[in-house]
Amino acid sequence: MRFAVIGLAGVGAKHVSVVSNLENAELACVCDVVSNIADDFANKYKTNAYYSVEDMVEKEKLDGVIVATPPKSHYPITKICAEKGIHVFVEKPMASYVSDCQKMIDVCKENRVTLMVGHKKRFVPALVRLKELTEGELGEIKYMIHRYPHPWMSSKDWFWAEDDGGGPILENAVHAADILGFLMGDVDSVYAEGDSFFAENRKPQINCAVYTLRFKSGAIATVGAGMVSVPAFSFEDFFIATDNGVAEVSGHFDSVEKIRYAFRKDPNNAKEEVYSGVDAFVEEIKHFIECSRTGKEPIASGEAGKKAVAICRAVKKSAEIGEPVKVGN
């Protein structure tokens, strides 16, 4: 499958490396509006460089693209590529607003191309195992606490712009929104408290929030997220409770590895499993290739990406008005 990676200054660099090392993928070209960045990657990986998506799709025969540009550009790039019959993998958040997410879904459907969103936590083995347990002997999650403190601070202006990255609650905590949806289903409403702590120079954008979600199933969850930590405290964790037991998933930030669980019928005996050595970036691109070839619906579909953006927008709105907000998709 012939790939282009669009946007190279951030996570796009990781995607270039992944595609270059997959047996059933070929890095046909790279694209970035900053010409020297595109040239550097092209020279390093011995491929072609482009500085505009329009020029690239006219000159290259591509099967798929990986879009790793700021969120505001995701819809126009997706439209250009989908209309050329090119499958689209787009980094999270899917777009800045729910309306653009829907446009992306529509244009990919109209052109019969696969659309997948980079919600890589769905491919983290410890979280996949948690989903297996809660769909089996542990039972449905009724209660969750998720701590997601980002250990770095972004200096990029687009990241903080409301109509682009949307700040940490959209650009980063969209991971939390998506994995809770993956594990617990659709969200009905959100109540959030947020502030610009530790990033006062970015006001009125909020940097962090603590929020409670009520799911359509009746379950509840609380999330703490934002750029509030430091590299020495690079971690995240989940605690969940069900009718049959409890579980905890924990580990390094964005790469949890350990799961512990116990059953209420045997409350003093916890089981522990550790999963390591799996790169979720690799697994998600392998899945994208499979879906593009077979027409199978991706695990991290456009609809899932849209729901995650809707949750984040509801969190931000609730923090702004100080009231619960219904989540609209």
Percentage of residues in the chain having pLDDT higher than 90: 98
H runs (alpha helix) in 22-156: 35-45, 53-59, 74-82, 98-110, 125-134
Which pLDDT value is given to residue 328?
83
Q: What is the pLDDT of residue 223?
A: 99
Count Cα neighbours of 238 within 13 Å in the Cβ-side half-sphere.
30
- Predicted confidence at residue 152, as pLDDT, reads 93
Helices and strands, number each (H, E), in the chain: 11, 15
- For the sheet with 245-252, list strands across it: 266-274, 255-263, 245-252, 236-242, 141-149, 220-226, 208-215, 187-195, 325-326
pLDDT at 104: 99
* pLDDT band for position 15 (cuts 50, 70, 90): very high
pLDDT of 47:
98
- For residue range 150-186, what is the model confidence (pLDDT) as tens digits? 999 999 999 999 999 999 999 999 999 999 999 999 9
Domains of the chain: 2-120+282-301 (3.40.50.720), 122-278+309-326 (3.30.360.10)
Task: Report pLDDT digits (tens) over 216-274.
Answer: 999 999 999 999 999 999 999 999 999 999 999 999 998 899 999 999 999 999 999 99
Q: Give 329's pLDDT tier (boundaries 50, 70, 90).
A: low
- The percent of residues in the chain predicted with pLDDT above 70, rounded, is 100
User: Quick one: CA dihedral 69, 284, 75, 188, positive or negative?
Assistant: negative
Q: What is the pLDDT of residue 133?
A: 98
Mean pLDDT calculated for residue range 133-145: 98
Q: Is the confidence at residue 277, as pLDDT, over 90?
A: no
Cα separation, 8 vs 202, whole angstroms: 25
DSSP per-residue string spanning 241-290 = EESSEEEEEEEETTEEEEEEEEETTEEEEEEEEE--S--HHHHHHHHHHH
The values of phi and psi at residue 83, to 5°, are -70, -10
- Per residue in 43-99, pLDDT (tens digit) is 999 999 999 999 999 999 999 999 999 999 999 999 999 999 999 999 999 999 999
Only one residue has tokens 């512990």, namely 260
pLDDT at res. 314: 98
Token pair for residue 326?
Answer: 């219904």
Burial grade of 24 (CB within 10 A; 0-12, 13-18, 19 or more): exposed
Write out the two tokens for 7.
Answer: 């946007």
Q: At 175, list the tokens.
A: 């991971």
Mean of per-residue pLDDT scores for the chain: 97
Beta-carbon contacts of residue 208 (< 8 Å; ≥ 6 apart): 168, 169, 194, 195, 197, 198, 224, 225, 226, 227, 228
Rounded CA-CA distance 175/142 in Å is 20
